[in-house]
Amino acid sequence: MSPTKPLSAGEGGLVTTDDDNLAQELRIGRDYGNPWDYDARFAGLNARMPELSALVGLSALERFPHWLERRMSLVQGYRDNLADLPGLTFQLVPEGARSSYKDLGVQVDPDTFGLDRTALARLLSAEGISSRSYFDPPLHRQTAYRGDFAPPALLVTDRLAARMITLPLYSHMPEDDVDRVCDAVRRAHVDGSPHAV
């Protein structure tokens, strides 16, 4: 529930479960594995949400449905604006499911779009538009974990990670900003250069 999340409480997290045993284990785990007698049952961590963060989270929870709809509307604006460009693939949300769109990830196919993800990011940056490659390197390529996998263990993951870019998206984002980003993506696709400012 950090500030970049659609439902923010400053910091902290939330778990929902209908499993009473799991709920109890999680409650113990959030307090160093200590079930209140200072005899830790397992290695836990300090994951207790401060009261102020909980208050912020409760307030945000009341507005969350509105902000979720807002984000979905902004994403639809991106989809509508960029639907005719070859080489861009948006997240597929299965029927009956909803995404909170914490990030708006788009896959860029360099062969059909005409630029790779890195070149697109540079052109967007030249126009003052930030983008990120949150998912690269993928987990199995990160220093802490790569010793457990013999490359190329996850070929599809590697391909997707190299092609993903996240476009700007936040709950208070004006529609004009979506249009501005889409215009910049279109210019990059057409001529591979930023718009003269």
List 88's β-bridge partners, or say none.
108
* Residue 152's pLDDT band (cuts 50, 70, 90): low
* Backbone phi, psi, residue 150, to 5°: -95, 105
Kindly report, residue by residue over 39-75, the tens digit of the pLDDT: 888 888 888 888 888 888 888 889 889 999 999 999 9
Torsion of CA 180, 182, 187, 193, to 10 degrees: 70
* Helix spans in the chain (H): 20-29, 51-82, 110-113, 117-126, 155-163, 175-191
Res 196: pLDDT? 43
Residues 6+ apart with CB under 8 A from 48: 30, 31
Label the pairing between strands 88-90 and 104-108: antiparallel
Residue 87 and residue 110 in contact, taking contact as beta carbons nearer than 8 Å: yes
153 has a pLDDT exceeding 90 = no
Based on its alpha-carbon atoms, the radius of gyration of the chain, rounded to whole angstroms, reads: 21
Residue type present at position 57:
G
Q: What is the set of domains in the chain, with CATH numbers?
A: 1-49 (no CATH), 64-191 (3.90.1150.10)
Residue 87 and residue 112 in contact, taking contact as beta carbons nearer than 8 Å: yes
Label the pairing between strands 164-167 and 88-90: unpaired
Say how many C-beta atoms besides its own lie within 10 A of residue 161's C-beta: 19
Residue 24 and residue 41 in contact, taking contact as beta carbons nearer than 8 Å: no
Query: What average pLDDT does range 13-32 have in this prediction?
Result: 91
List 167's β-bridge partners, or say none.
104
* Backbone phi, psi, residue 156, to 5°: -65, -45
Residue type present at position 157:
T
Kindly report, residue by residue over 97-129, the tens digit of the pLDDT: 999 999 999 999 999 999 999 999 999 999 999
Kindly report, residue by residue over 176-190, the tens digit of the pLDDT: 999 999 999 999 997
